[in-house]
Structure 1
Amino acid sequence: MNLYPLGKFLISTICYPLYRIKVIGKEKFPKEGGVLLCTNHIDNLDPPVVGITCPRTVHFMAKEELFKKPILKSVLPQVQAYPVKRGMSDRDAFRTTIKLLRDGKVVGLFPEGTRSKTGELGKGLAGAGFFALKGGEAKVVPCAIIGPYKAFSQLKVVYGDAIDMTPFRERKASAEEVTEAIMAEISKLIAQHK
């Protein structure tokens, strides 16, 4: 069962008016093909907010512990989330991510790996660069969530232009270098739209 459309509708009816969400650049989002959607992480509500503002279904990695909670364990798979073990190399999650990208799906990723306590953009982990390089023809789209999550004050979700991975792949760039390039694009979006 796929609860994604229903979840998107219900969360939209609450979050759009409550946070006065403004979406910028949505029209640039690739209409087809694999997309690695890389976003800064400022709040636990980031995944549903990205989910309701993105024009396509987003598959999110979620920490494994959430899949052990009574209600979440049955809901998360139905909203296209899949588990990842934190703090270690999780081969199953890696394989799932690469397969989704190569199958033309959208994978949502928070390169910082965890929520920013200050709201400032943190350092990205090499995983984002790894998936960007290994995801076949998948495009990499930077996204910035500009808060705060405060009732009736505006929250912006900004989608940037897809980053061309060809030069990175051709010169066999490191995962770290690619992650830095992705984080630089997210940083630019934050600076432009703050």
Structure 2
Amino acid sequence: MNQAIASLSLRPRPSISYRMVQWLLVAPIFRLLFRGRCFGMERVPRQGGLVVVANHGSHLDPPLLGHTLPRPVSFMAKAELFKVPILGGLIRSLGAYPVSRGASDREAIRTALGRLEKGWATGIFLDGTRQLSGRVENPQLGAALLSARSGAPLLPVALVNTHRAFGPNQSWPRLVAIQIRVGLPIPPPASKRRADLEATTKACQEAINALLELPLIAGADPFH
């Protein structure tokens, strides 16, 4: 058995600061300003290591994803973000940890594996950087490699309209409706071979983009 299997009984408890930031700051922004809604949350495994993969169109994405999923999420984020006023403290309180630009993939993977071994959900944006389209355009293999090494499944999540709300070229947010949609978990790659990593990464990309292509959902959760 690998360490990921041994960690299945683990369920990290979010810190007090994590909860306070979620409910006093992120929740009002998501629920009131952006009329935020969540769909498919029953698909989220409640314990054990989990690699959460998502599209990335906005600096809003880490705090919104950390707030909406029903378990604490740890994020790998660019070190530069931690120097941004307010945002840096916000994402750190929500479980993010810095990865320096130019740092080796080995260092970043080691940190993420440590979180997974403790039973955390670890969030990774597949493209590694924000996309103007808000879609997954050029997915990297890091999430699949992390899944292969840890044995943790991948969970595709679509962040709908965050690129329109506060995208890369915007100085001020636009109050558009944001939705968070969770897909079905995807098993780890069959091996750490590149072909298997690419196949799993493509499956994640297709799952996320398919969720993004759905029209804005009104009424009851259609994923039940």
Query: What TM-score results when the alignment is normalised by the length of structure 1?
Result: 0.86
Which amino acid counterpart does residue 13 of structure 1 have in structure 2? P
Q: Deviations over 1:58-85 (max 9, x none)?
A: 1011111233457666665433111112
- What is the aligned partner in structure 2 of residue 161 from structure 1? 184
| 8 Å CA contact retained: 1:82, 1:93 | no
| Aligned mates of 1:72, 1:171 — CA distance in 2 | 35
3-state SS, counterpart of residue 158 of structure 1? strand
Which amino acid counterpart does residue 156 of structure 1 have in structure 2? Q
Q: Deviations over 1:24-65 (max 9, x none)?
A: 001111111111110101111011111111101110111112
* Cα distance change, pair 2–80 in 1 and its aligned pair in 2 (3 A): farther
| Aligned mates of 1:69, 1:18 — CA distance in 2 | 22
- What is the aligned partner in structure 2 of residue 141 from structure 1? 155
3-state SS, counterpart of residue 182 of structure 1? helix
3-state SS, counterpart of residue 190 of structure 2? helix
Which residue, out of 110, 127, 143, partners 2:125?
110
Q: Deviations over 1:144-184 (max 9, x none)?
A: 01113231x3211101110122xx32695532332112111
- What is the aligned partner in structure 1 of residue 114 from structure 2? 99
| Aligned mates of 2:158, 2:196 — CA distance in 1 | 24
Task: Name the stretch that deviates more: 30-39 or 82-91.
Answer: 82-91
| Aligned mates of 2:57, 2:82 — CA distance in 1 | 22
Q: How does 1:34-73 map to 2 (within 5 A)?
A: 34-68=49-83
| Aligned mates of 2:35, 2:202 — CA distance in 1 | 31
- What is the aligned partner in structure 2 of residue 185 from structure 1? 207
Between the two proteins, the alignment pairs up a number of residues equal to 190
- What is the aligned partner in structure 1 of residue 197 from structure 2? 175
Is there any run of 5+ residues in structure 2 with no aligned partner, and where? 1-14, 166-173, 217-224
Which residue, out of 15, 21, 38, partners 2:36?
21
| 8 Å CA contact retained: 1:129, 1:177 | no
| Aligned mates of 1:75, 1:119 — CA distance in 2 | 22
3-state SS, counterpart of residue 16 of structure 1? helix
- What is the aligned partner in structure 1 of residue 21 from structure 2? 7
Query: What TM-score results when the alignment is normalised by the length of structure 2?
Result: 0.76
Q: Percent identity?
A: 35
3-state SS, counterpart of residue 83 of structure 1? strand
Task: Name the stretch that deviates more: 168-177 or 75-84.
Answer: 168-177
| 8 Å CA contact retained: 2:53, 2:157 | yes
